[in-house]
Structure 1
Amino acid sequence: AQQVLVQTISNVKKLPPVNLEIDGQNYPNFNITLFQPIFTGGKILAGKKFATAELNYSDVELQKTKNEIIKETIDRYYAVVLLKAVVKTRKEVVAGMKRHEREAEKAIKIGMIPPYTRLRAEVAVANAQRDLSDDENKLKLAKIALKASMGLHTPEDIEVTDTLKFQACPLNLEQLLNDAVNHQPVFRMLEEKKVMVKQKHNLDLAAFMPQIGAWGTYSAYRDRYPVIPSPFVIGVQAKINLFHGAKKINEMKATQHLAKEVDAAEQYAHEQVNLWVNKSYNEVLNKQERYRKLQPTIALARKNYEITEKRFHEGMAKSTDVIDARLLYEKSQIEAYHTLYDYYVALSDLYLATGNPEKLLNILIHDNNQ
Structure 2
Amino acid sequence: MMKIERSVMILLLLGVLFGLWATTAYAQQTDTLRIDLNTALDIALSENPNMKVADMEITKKQYAKKSAYGTLLPQIDLIGQYQRTLKRQTMYLDGDFSMLGNFDPSKFTPEELKILDVLGRAMAPAEGGSSNEGIQVGRKNSWTTGVNVSLPLVVPSLWKNIQISQVDIELAMEEARSSKINLRNQVKKAFFSLLLAKDSYEVFKETYRTDSINLDDIKNKFKQGIVPEYDVITADVRLKSIIPNILQADNMKKIAELQLKMLMGIDSEVPMTVSGALSDYEESMFQQLIPADTSMVENSDLKQFDLQSNKAQKAYELQKLQFAPTLTSSFNYMYMSQNNDFRFRDYRWDPYSVVGVTLSIPLFNGGQRYYNVKQSQIQLWQLQEQRKDLERSLKLSLKNNIDLIHKNIEQIVATQSSVEQARKGYEITRKRYETGLGTIVDVNAAALAMTSAELQYRNAIYDYLAAKADLEKVLGYEL
- TM bucket, shorter chain: 0.7 to 0.9
Task: List runs of 5+ in structure 2 lacking aligned partners.
Answer: 1-94, 102-118, 124-132, 338-345
Structure with the larger RCO, 1 or 2 (CA within 8 Å, 6+ apart): 1
Q: Indicate the percent of aligned positions where both proteins have the same amino acid.
A: 18
Give the whole-Å Cα distance in 1 for the aligned partners of 2:170 and 2:464.
34
Offset from partner CA, 1:61-84 (integer Å, 9 cap, x none)? 122112111111111111111111
| TM score, norm. by length of structure 1 | 0.86
* SS of 1:111 mapped into structure 2: coil
Q: Which residue of 1 aligns with 2:193?
A: 79
Determine if the alignment matches structure 1 residue 36 to structure 2 residue 151. Answer: yes
| TM score, norm. by length of structure 2 | 0.67
Offset from partner CA, 1:15-68 (integer Å, 9 cap, x none)? 4954234xx79664323222222222x201111111111222122112211211
Native 8 Å contact 2:258 2:268 kept in 1: no
Q: Which residue of 2 aligns with 1:250?
A: 371
Aligned residues: CA RMSD = 2.8
Offset from partner CA, 1:288-336 (integer Å, 9 cap, x none)? 1110111221111111101111111111111111111111111101100
- In structure 2, which of residues 247, 254, 257 is the aligned counterpart of residue 140 of structure 1? 254
* SS of 1:219 mapped into structure 2: strand
CA-CA distance at 1:156 after TM superposition: 3.2
State the aligned residue count: 348
* SS of 1:153 mapped into structure 2: coil
CA-CA distance at 1:256 after TM superposition: 0.3
Offset from partner CA, 1:206-228 (integer Å, 9 cap, x none)? 22222221222223469x99996
* SS of 1:217 mapped into structure 2: strand
Q: Which residue of 2 aligns with 1:327?
A: 448
Native 8 Å contact 1:83 1:135 kept in 2: yes
Give the whole-Å Cα distance in 1 for the aligned partners of 2:477 and 2:385.
25
Give the whole-Å Cα distance in 1 for the aligned partners of 2:423 and 2:179.
45
1:226 to 1:111, Cα distance in 2 relative to 1, 3 A: closer
Select between 89-98 and 271-280 the one with higher mean Cα deviation.
Answer: 271-280
Q: Which residue of 1 aligns with 2:121?
A: 13
Offset from partner CA, 1:84-112 (integer Å, 9 cap, x none)? 11111111111111222222223333333
CA-CA distance at 1:243 after TM superposition: 2.6
> Letter of the aligned partner of 1:214 in structure 2?
S
Q: Which residue of 2 aligns with 1:196?
A: 311
CA-CA distance at 1:234 after TM superposition: 1.8
After the TM superposition, which residues 1-370 of structure 1 pair with which residues of structure 2 at under 5 Å, given as runs?
Answer: 7=98, 12-13=120-121, 15=123, 17-21=134-138, 28-40=143-155, 42-153=156-267, 155-165=269-279, 166=282, 167-168=284-285, 169-175=287-293, 177-178=294-295, 180-181=296-297, 183-220=298-335, 231-357=352-478, 359=479
Offset from partner CA, 1:112-142 (integer Å, 9 cap, x none)? 3332232221211111111111101111111
Give the whole-Å Cα distance in 1 for the aligned partners of 2:172 and 2:428.
63
1:26 to 1:106, Cα distance in 2 relative to 1, 3 A: closer
The structure having more radius of gyration, on CA atoms, is 2
1:326 to 1:27, Cα distance in 2 relative to 1, 3 A: closer
Task: List runs of 5+ in structure 1 lacking aligned partners.
Answer: 360-370
Offset from partner CA, 1:120-179 (integer Å, 9 cap, x none)? 21211111111111101111111111111111105133111211121224323432x13x
Report which of the two has the higher share of strand: 2
Native 8 Å contact 2:215 2:236 kept in 1: yes
Q: Which residue of 2 aligns with 1:365?
A: none
